[in-house]
Chains A and B, each alone.
Chain A
């Protein structure tokens, strides 16, 4: 797992209070990890802080799985 993936996973565990092994790359935030739409807003904010990236609303709306988050961050971080 990449360094980005590790850090994303840590944030998800901390924010959603789920077990680490459930946070696979294919896991959907809403369907598999019990998040609601506001939790995703909060997660996106945490990713922005952690990685120093800006994730505009239209991009954030397309992030539904852990892999979506990791790919966006890897493609956009400085």
Chain B
């Protein structure tokens, strides 16, 4: 089987809009949470979120940097975030010099959990108030989930696989895993892969709040709201942004002299077959997803140094995931660190698995693992596991595992290791 390595990274998150800034803020223990500013959330049960900051902010996002004015006007925020993060990965991997023949074998696998919800909401109001002749001609292709991939391939002239994943909150991890398999199976040599989300709109917040998924007890203390494994956790904090990696066949990367961050060794996928929103009560799907990724990786359990957990800060999910990790790793759990970076950037939904895989890759690069913020009083059952409370921790990191689970009972796990 052809080997697959990571040769480029791109991030747009509530803690910054390029990789080094995000990583520095994350390691420093900063939180991207705050009051919702996109709309008046006064009457909402949840009034907080982790928003991508405006261009004039210290670590804000300037869409004009990589996205044409016309495209910005026509598409939803998740596509803008995705184009920018893909552009960062493209530049980081040094793909500008690819030949035409290489571009035929360079593709995209970029997804989103929800897609263009803000635009659907706004345009439905236009339809209702002004009628069908006022609906934008760009409405459909400005909201479709596969249009990050579509826009990126047009912008950068990539003509390989044109793929998009939609598996709720495991989208980013599935997108990377699927792309890695396309390269391993010789469908492509290079894939820009990951996920994006931009669903911070009235309908998005109201919908998740009505599903009882969001934190509502910390509206006056937003930076304390996302608290995975803590006794006072009461739901997730919605984030937004994108994470994209450049995956490449190992020999192809070596021949180009590309910088290699890590190797994608294992990919696991499973379904809970239990409930649309609640995780399986025994963490069965999570366990099988991790088990498959480990088996495919060829590593032993003791090789894993860091797990970037799904850990959303919901009452049910965090402990079930930890239980599944405990059952799979047994005594080897004592040697690893496991944290949830959703404590700092919130839940990026379809972007989460990709952004968090990038954090795992950077942990390998810098030999430091990011913290779980707000873990003041761990729930019962968290003993004997290093959940990296409050502050980042320097330690040896050679191999990492990333977990992502989503509505619909979908699970994905990725194993990566230093080359």
Contacts and interface: CB of A to CB of B under 8 A. Distances in A.
Nearest to A38: B137
Interface in B49-102: 68-70, 73
A17 B69 contact: yes
Interface of B is mostly: helix
Contacts of A68: none
A39 B136 CA distance: 10
B231 interface: no
Given A38-B138, A42-B138, A17 B70 contact: yes
Contacts of A30: none
A39 to B, nearest CB: 7
A16 interface: yes
Contact of A45 (B68, B69, B134): B134
Interface of A is mostly: helix
- Classify chain A's interface size: 10 to 19
Contacts of B134: 45, 49
B70 A16 contact: yes
B133 interface: yes
A17 B133 contact: no
Contacts of A41: 137
Contacts of A10: none
Nearest to A57: B133
Contact of B136 (A16, A17, A42): A42
A34 to B, nearest CB: 8
Nearest to B69: A17
B129 to A, nearest CB: 13
Interface in A16-73: 16-17, 34, 38-39, 41-42, 45, 49
A15 interface: yes
A70 B8 CA distance: 48
A6 B68 CA distance: 24
B133 A45 contact: yes
A24 B134 CA distance: 27
Interface of A: 15-17, 34, 38-39, 41-42, 45, 49
